[in-house]
C-alpha cells in the first residue's frame, strides 16, 4: 500500500446538546482523527472514538493516543501492509485497546479503497443504496419536542436512555408521542441479577429490543433474561471480538447483536462477526458512538451490507455537531441516509479547515 506516514489529530468539539446516560453527561467530545498517507499523497481517514473517561470501556482518549503513538505505529515498521486485513495481524500481540486498533485500521481501509478507486461500501460488499437510520435520545433532552421532530424527519427507530426503575413510564411516554417509530431502550449494563423479573415484566411493551441490560462481558444473565422474554435481547458492550460473538450465539444469550466497528477492533473483525451472525440467524445492526462524520461514514458503508435490516445509530451530522469534519455532512431523506457508492473511499471529503480548528495536538509518524 506504500504507506509513508500516519498523522494523529487529537481534537475537542462541542456537542449541540449535552448527552446524558446513567453514567454521566458529555458536553464536549474529545477524540482522535487518524490520517494514513501513501507515497502518492493520498490520505485515508479513521477515528478513535474512546471517551475522555473510562465510563463506556476501559479505553480513554489518552490511552488510545499512547497506544497508537508508542506501540501500534512503530509496529507498522516491522511488516508491509498489502491489504487492510493485514493490520489486525500486526497489532494482535498487544492485548485489548480495540478502539485504537480500529482507528488505525479505519484509516487504512479508507486509503486502500481510494487506491482501488472503489467506494468502501462497494469494496466490502455493500448492496444497499440507502439505509434506514435510528436516533438515540438521552435523559437530558426534551422528549416532547424531539420525538415528534425525529418522526417528522423520518427516523425509523428511537433508542431511549431510560431511568432505571422507570422504564415503563419512559417508554410509554415516547410511545404516546409517536405511534410510528420503533422503540427500544439501552440498559448500558446498569442492571443486575436482582432485576431479572422486573425486566421480564416489560415484555408486553412491544419493544424492538432491550440492549445490553447487564454488565459488559456477561453472557449468563443475558441468556437467563432472553429465555424469559419474547422481546429480543441485544448485546453491545459484551461483544469485543469474534470469539465473544460466537460464545453469545452458542449460549443463546441474545437474538440481536449491535456491532460497533470501534468496539471490536476494526472493520475486519466487524465483517467476520457480521458473517457469523448471518449464518447463525442472529439479527445484526450497526451501532454508533458520539463520533464525527469520519467514523459515521465508515458506519454507513458497514450498514450497507445486505443483511443489515435494523436501523442503525447513524443520525444526521447536525444531530450532534454545529459543524462536522466532512463535506457534505451526513443528511437524511425520509429517514434514510444515502450510501456513497461512486466516490472512492468513505465517500466524503474531510474538511481540513474544521479539522485544524478543533485539533488540540498532532503527532506524525514517518514510515
Return d(Cα 164, Cα 278) in angstroms, integer: 32
- The CATH number of whichever domain residue 222 belongs to comes to 3.20.20.120
Domain identity same for 171 and 255: yes
Domain identity same for 107 and 72: yes
Domain identity same for 191 and 81: no
Nearest to 298 by CA among 47, 128, 55: 47
Domain identity same for 158 and 275: yes
Q: Is residue 147 a contact partner of residue 134, using CB atoms and an 8 Å limit?
A: no
Residue 120 has pLDDT above 90, yes or no: yes
For residue 154, being part of any structural domain is answered with yes
Mean pLDDT of the chain: 94
Domain identity same for 110 and 151: no
For residue 50, being part of any structural domain is answered with yes
Instruction: Look at the chain and report how many structural domains it folds into.
Output: 2
Domain identity same for 210 and 325: yes
Domain identity same for 84 and 127: no
Residue 155 has pLDDT above 80, yes or no: yes
Tens digits of residue pLDDT in 54-95: 988 899 999 999 999 999 999 999 888 999 999 999 999 999
Tens digits of residue pLDDT in 10-22: 999 999 987 766 5
Residue 17 grid cell: 446538546
Tens digits of residue pLDDT in 228-287: 999 999 999 999 999 999 999 999 999 999 999 999 999 999 999 999 999 999 999 999
Domain identity same for 228 and 244: yes
Q: 170-174, 266-270, 351-355 — which is least confidently predicted? A: 170-174
Q: 60-69, 86-95, 119-128, 165-174 — which is least confidently predicted? A: 165-174
For residue 206, being part of any structural domain is answered with yes
For residue 79, being part of any structural domain is answered with yes
Q: How far apart are the first and last CA of the chain?
A: 12
The alpha-helical segments, DSSP class H, found in the chain are: 61-67, 73-75, 86-91, 98-115, 120-123, 143-152, 167-177, 196-200, 220-228, 242-251, 267-280, 293-303, 352-358
Q: What DSSP state is assigned to residue 173?
A: H
For residue 343, being part of any structural domain is answered with no
Domain identity same for 189 and 88: no
Residue 341 grid cell: 457508492
List residues with catalytic annotation: 161, 260
For residue 242, being part of any structural domain is answered with yes
Return d(Cα 256, Cα 259) in angstroms, integer: 10
Which residue would you say has higher pLDDT here, 19 or 288?
Answer: 288
Range of the domain at 58: 3-117+348-366
Q: 164-178, 266-280, 345-359 — which is least confidently predicted? A: 164-178
Domain identity same for 360 and 286: no
Average pLDDT over residues 337-358: 97
Return d(Cα 118, Cα 343) in angstroms, integer: 7
- The CATH number of whichever domain residue 44 belongs to comes to 3.30.390.10
pLDDT of residue 237: 93
Domain identity same for 286 and 196: yes
Domain identity same for 193 and 217: yes
Nearest to 34 by CA among 95, 99, 119, 83: 99
Amino acid at each position: 500500500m506504500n504507506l509513508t506516514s500516519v498523522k494523529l489529530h487529537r481534537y475537542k468539539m462541542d456537542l449541540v446538546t449535552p448527552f446524558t446516560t446513567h453514567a454521566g453527561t458529555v458536553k464536549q467530545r474529545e477524540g482522535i482523527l487518524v490520517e494514513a498517507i501513501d507515497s502518492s499523497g493520498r490520505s485515508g481517514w479513521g477515528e478513535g472514538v474512546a471517551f475522555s473517561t473510562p465510563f463506556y470501556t476501559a479505553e480513554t482518549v489518552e490511552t488510545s493516543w499512547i497506544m497508537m503513538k508508542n506501540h501500534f505505529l512503530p509496529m507498522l515498521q516491522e511488516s508491509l501492509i498489502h491489504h487492510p486485513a493485514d493490520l489486525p495481524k500486526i497489532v494482535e500481540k498487544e492485548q485489548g485497546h480495540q478502539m485504537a486498533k480500529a482507528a488505525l485500521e479505519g484509516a487504512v481501509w479508507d486509503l486502500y479503497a481510494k487506491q482501488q478507486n472503489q467506494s468502501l461500501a462497494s469494496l466490502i460488499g455493500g448492496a444497499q443504496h440507502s439505509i434506514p437510520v435510528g436516533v438515540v435520545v438521552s435523559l437530558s433532552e426534551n422528549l416532547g419536542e424531539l420525538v415528534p421532530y425525529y418522526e417528522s424527519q423520518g427516523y425509523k427507530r428511537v433508542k431511549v436512555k431510560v431511568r432505571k426503575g422507570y422504564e415503563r413510564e419512559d417508554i410509554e411516554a415516547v410511545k404516546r408521542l409517536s405511534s410510528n417509530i420503533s422503540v427500544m431502550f439501552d440498559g448500558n449494563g446498569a442492571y443486575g441479577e436482582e432485576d431479572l423479573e422486573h425486566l421480564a415484566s416489560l415484555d408486553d411493551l412491544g419493544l424492538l429490543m432491550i440492549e445490553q441490560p447487564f454488565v459488559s462481558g456477561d453472557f449468563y444473565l443475558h441468556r437467563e433474561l432472553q429465555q424469559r422474554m419474547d422481546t429480543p435481547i441485544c448485546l453491545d458492550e459484551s461483544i469485543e471480538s469474534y470469539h465473544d460473538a460466537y460464545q453469545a450465539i452458542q449460549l443463546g444469550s441474545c437474538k440481536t447483536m449491535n456491532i460497533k466497528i470501534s468496539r471490536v477492533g476494526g472493520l475486519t473483525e466487524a465483517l467476520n462477526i457480521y458473517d457469523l451472525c448471518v449464518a447463525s440467524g442472529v439479527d445484526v445492526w450497526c451501532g454508533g458512538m458520539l463520533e464525527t462524520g469520519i467514523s459515521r461514514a465508515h458506519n454507513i458503508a458497514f450498514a450497507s451490507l445486505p443483511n443489515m435490516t435494523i436501523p442503525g445509530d447513524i443520525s444526521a451530522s447536525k444531530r450532534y455537531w454545529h459543524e462536522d469534519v466532512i463535506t457534505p455532512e451526513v443528511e437524511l431523506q425520509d429517514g434514510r441516509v444515502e450510501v456513497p457508492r461512486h466516490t472512492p473511499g468513505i465517500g466524503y471529503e474531510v474538511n481540513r479547515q474544521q479539522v485544524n480548528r478543533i485539533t488540540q495536538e498532532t503527532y506524525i509518524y514517518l514510515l
